Structure 1
């Protein structure tokens, strides 16, 4: 949702500044998430107008969102060096993201702070300010302990050396275990922020713990949260090119692989008994936010486990890139509805 809002704000910016039909076309493509088409068109227009800053900014942003960070930098920097308005602001914000993903943290922090200091547009400033928090650049983190394992860079707010050692071992083991299934190539070490205080986290990152930012390979977690839930969000995001996520499947997958010793069946049965309500998987699939987390999280984990058990890893991962019911029908066939009916009957009492 935040990504779509960013697209929309960019497009409004184009319209408000009376941009050319070509720029508006690129804005629409970018706003629709059609990055490949955006990149192709922007390069085409740059061939005839190589100094156009709008083309450069849009191309740089599309390349960033595609994960082509090194290529994006030159286009973003070109606009930054020649502009002092919203183009420079967004260029700096996205430049900060590129350098972060390339693990050049000093340049990343500098670009984000430059965007904030420029204060050319409220939305670009907000974009960069949020990333200062989630990337770990806020001065609040200056006394945190940073440790690295093979796959994860940990940031500890307040934990003893012995507990840090055990925590790192358990999460590194969890990463390996989870990725045996997904076989993902995560593009960089996961930055895993381990918070001691939920209130502090709310103040600095403006979100409730825990959460993952898979596009940036980031996890922010309370130290008592499950080993695998947020890690799974990051790892699974790189199992395939994800085109459509749904709450039932995306959260269900992370619950299924969270490595917690929890009786989810009991949680679901207790909720049904207390609320006297039948389970409707298709409605939950389509209207995830309509239902309470007390039901949807344990139920979705159980449902994903059923899908994997019934159809196997290969088919599940083929489906996972587009998590809609319609795609599930395409991949799993009519057997999907049979599985859903059996699953619902199991929890109907």
Structure 2
């Protein structure tokens, strides 16, 4: 998961109000219930020590939309009387309301709730071209078209010499058009950075387009038997298949990253003390977080800068701050990851006692420990 959208949260000192809300229940007549929910959120912030101005800003943000909120939930991050980030959630939170007032924004739930779902580039293909669509957790949008030749594209049933020549021309047109579609998909992907490419429509053209995609895209492409380019084509089964493909992609990506971690040897770190050291040295390339891990909420100490972390408050030589603040380990490490351009990956709950990474927190490093030890 790319974390750059969280950058605004680390350009201000805090403390922060962090709110994660389930809005999947909303409809056109929810104003009264929403107001009650907003008041409960602000009262919870006040009890935890939030200032009145920040509480009012959160209240106004929660009440600012007259209709139902798009998406399954909302996250609101506010400090010093201002809402800094208000992203929709793609997945309903496990609790109806989660409110925290803390030194750092509580962003770790976003690994599972926000942009975790992959971006899909869908190509609706026929023998003359394709319509392209981008689907994200926030909705879908048209992404252009591919236009090939519209003649000759239909074969006949005759079997004399002239017809065999014509049918070869038809085959050539299909091949050329498949190349045009593949090129359009590749060009569109340059802009959208799709995690998954889904080819829909004519079976022969789907296969031809798949074979002509650039090799990196080919490995991310799947074909669907449902849906098509024709106007009015049913999409229900396609939507279900896309949802399954997304979930399978997320699961497969998490397994791949976990396998990379297991085989990384001295180019990895796990456990809070080792990760804190790696974060201080800006060495985290990808942070791995198992949400149910016992050390995700372990207390660490932080200063104003992302590399000012320590396991104990007494380690002032690392904190560079006379008044360090207590923070959750996952939130402190995610701050470091965001500011240093690292990525993050949420892992599925531990199965069968497999505590990898140790305590639920690990990282793939930018360079191994062995390189640090060279003279």
TM norm structure 2: 0.24
Radius of gyration: which is bigger?
A: 2
The structure richer in strand per residue is 2
